[in-house]
Amino acid sequence: MQAKAIIISGNGTNCETETAYACKLAGFEVVDIVHISKLLSGEIRLDDYHFLNLAGGFLDGDDLGAAKAGVNRFLHARLENSQDKIEDQLLKFISDGKLILGICNGFQLMVKLGLLPGFKNNYTKQKTTLTFNDSGRFENRWVYLKANPDSPCIFTKNIHSIYLPVRHGEGKFVTDSNETLEKIKSKQHISLQYCEEDCLEPSMKYPYNPNGSVDAIAGICDESGLLFGLMPHPEAYLHYTNHPHWTRKSLPEEGAGLKLFKNAFSYIKKHG
């Protein structure tokens, strides 16, 4: 079986090339960057792929808030000559047990669609959002992240900590209630948290936590661990020369961000 990855582009995404390259390096035999118009026309269907990537960028300029216009496109735009919507394909993709990764703007899209946290397999009700950074500015910096060993997330499997860049103005993770936050914590939806350099404990201190996210949350998954979204950019650290200190430190040739994509590939090869 060939493992097939699709990366959605268009309407403001700007990280699709790097994300596609990460999939290729991870081992995916088929990697397609597909403009969303091809999904709307019916020329391309999600059914033909195993791994959906919602890449970073600025969907529709974030003019209505991060990814908000993109959400409306998924929910309301009808496919050509059909009553179906992209949302219908998306929900079937999930029910078939396939993988979805949302990075930065893609994470914003997932939470506003309701795909995450996806309590009790309800992938249509929004319970969380990503809003303006506490700093009141766009944050472009590298951050330390601690992985939750108890999370079912297949993407962070065998990762203890990781160093990745963030690039966002609306990255503060918040929930609609304390009850939702407690559910997220109790069900181990939290996959990655911002931390200080020692990576021992999650941190609410700026700039280690660059946006003020509650509980220092940088990434969450659904209960199955097959849907995962995060604000940092793993596709931006695929080779040691991507690291900001590559001329001063002895680093492995492979960038740490590639591990997330390799975990996705391994899962698909094992489970089909």
Out of 104, 153, 195, 221, the active site residue is 104
**Each residue's pLDDT expressed in tens, for the chain with a length of 272 residues:** 899 999 999 999 999 999 999 999 999 999 999 999 999 999 999 999 999 999 999 988 887 788 988 888 888 888 887 888 899 999 999 999 999 999 999 999 999 999 999 999 999 999 999 999 999 999 999 999 999 999 999 999 999 999 999 999 999 999 999 999 999 998 899 999 999 999 889 999 999 999 999 999 999 999 999 999 999 999 999 999 999 999 999 999 999 999 999 999 999 999 97
Query: What integer pLDDT is reported at residue 70 of this predicted model?
Result: 87
Residue 218 and residue 193 in contact, taking contact as beta carbons nearer than 8 Å: yes
Q: Cα-atom radius of gyration of the chain, to the nearest Å? A: 17
Out of 18, 87, 139, 235, the active site residue is 235
76 belongs to the catalytic site: no
Question: Would you say the pTM of this structure is higher than 0.95?
Answer: yes
- What's the distance, Cα to Cα, between the start and end of the chain in Å? 8
Out of 50, 168, 189, 233, the active site residue is 233
Query: Which CATH fold topology does 4-271 show?
Result: Rossmann fold (3.40.50)
